[in-house]
């Protein structure tokens, strides 16, 4: 995941930013995820392996368990393209939980592209500890400028990272560019509903320092424009509500020590922000699910 902190002049909740906005988004994402408070928050509340929305078997399930189920669900959609002779690009790879799952489960080679060098250092260390550094290459960079040639990967993968792009059209264009002719693009994302006003969700995004959210309608249009015309969307917005309810519960139970990894000030901001996400989910302002795209 990656985040961006400056406002844009969008006309809707997910209107594409300018190229300058995309650069600001990358810089803000790097600053956000390199923060010690943010790093400790994801480690403490998600379990330090996966940092994306979970798919819950019941409403009291552990966040880490549900988050791993999401990885398994997404992988199942492209399992026919995964194997020892296959290549995967993970955009916004975070701590590398999905990359390690794919490498361990299928033996495929994974390139993990992520903006935060702090996360990437942790990712590389964990890969080495598990003997996976020969299958996973961790690259520091932006998904707006993917440093690989065209048609290079069998699968392009992303989980809840594209919502932080300052230029969704460019990001999706880059994903399509590096995808092989028979390759497939799978991603999850947090979106605004097509009829959600920008101002209705702006307060939600302060913790993530994100400028806006795309909508399903915008994604459908942009994916078609970059040549990914076969698009399946599994809508799972109920899971988003459960996920933010679980995070809110965990935040209320968590006790921040003055000298601890998560500072009391940051925890107070989290406790104030997470209920906004709960209410937005309840009011139908947000959408979440899995996209599966082909040419």
pLDDT in tens, 126-175: 999 999 999 999 999 999 999 999 999 999 999 999 988 989 999 999 99
17 pLDDT higher than 50? no
- Percentage of the chain beyond pLDDT 70 is 86
What is the model's pLDDT at position 170? 96
Segment 32-84, tens digit of pLDDT: 665 777 777 777 777 678 989 999 999 999 999 999 999 999 999 999 999 99
Residue indicated by tokens 């964990």 = 126
For residues 19 and 270, which has the higher predicted lDDT (pLDDT)?
A: 270
How much is the pTM?
0.88
CA distance 70 to 54: 6
What is the model's pLDDT at position 286? 98
15 pLDDT higher than 70? no
List of residues 6+ apart from 198 with CB closer than 8 A: 10, 12, 13, 192, 212
Instruction: Single out the residue of 150, 198, 159 nearest to residue 54, CA to CA.
Output: 159
4 pLDDT higher than 60? no
CA distance 169 to 156: 16
Instruction: Single out the residue of 6, 278, 295 nearest to residue 179, CA to CA.
Output: 295
For 251, half-sphere exposure in the C-beta direction (CA atoms, 13 angstrom radius) is: 21
| Mean pLDDT score of the chain | 88
225 pLDDT higher than 60? yes
CA distance 70 to 42: 17
Among left, alpha and beta (phi > 0; psi -120 to 50; other), residue 259 is alpha
13 pLDDT higher than 60? no
What is the model's pLDDT at position 280? 97
List of residues 6+ apart from 164 with CB closer than 8 A: 1, 2, 3, 4, 25, 29, 92, 208, 210
Paired with 156 in beta bridges are: 89, 185
Provide the edge-to-edge strand list for the sheet that holds 153-159.
136-140, 109-114, 87-91, 153-159, 179-192, 286-294, 230-235
């Amino acid at each position: 995941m990656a985040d961006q902190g400056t406002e844009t002049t969008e006309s809707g909740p997910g209107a594409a930013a300018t190229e300058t906005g995309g650069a600001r988004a990358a810089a803000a994402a790097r600053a956000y995820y390199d923060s010690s408070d943010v790093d400790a928050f994801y480690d403490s509340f998600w379990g330090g392996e996966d940092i994306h929305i979970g798919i819950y078997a019941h409403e009291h399930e552990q966040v880490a368990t549900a988050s791993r189920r999401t990885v398994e669900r997404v992988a199942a959609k492209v399992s026919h393209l995964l194997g020892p002779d296959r290549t995967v690009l993970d955009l916004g790879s975070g701590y590398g939980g999905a990359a390690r799952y794919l490498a361990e489960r299928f033996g495929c080679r994974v390139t993990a592209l992520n903006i935060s060098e702090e996360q990437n250092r942790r990712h590389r260390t964990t890969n080495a500890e598990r003997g996976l550094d020969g299958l996973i290459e961790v690259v520091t960079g932006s998904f707006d400028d993917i440093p690989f040639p065209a048609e290079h990967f069998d699968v392009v993968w992303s989980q809840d990272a594209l919502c932080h792009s300052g230029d969704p059209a460019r990001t999706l264009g880059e994903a399509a560019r590096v995808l092989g002719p028979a390759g497939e693009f799978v991603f999850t994302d947090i979106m605004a509903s097509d009829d959600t006003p920008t101002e209705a969700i702006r307060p939600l995004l302060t913790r993530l320092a994100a400028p806006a959210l795309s909508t399903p309608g915008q994604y459908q249009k942009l994916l078609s424009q970059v040549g990914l015309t076969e698009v399946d969307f599994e809508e799972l917005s109920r899971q988003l509500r459960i996920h933010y309810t679980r995070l809110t519960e965990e935040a209320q139970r968590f006790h921040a020590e003055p000298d601890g990894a998560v500072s009391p000030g940051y925890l107070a901001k989290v406790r104030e922000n997470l209920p906004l996400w709960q209410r937005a989910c309840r009011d139908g302002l947000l959408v979440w699910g899995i996209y599966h795209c082909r040419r």
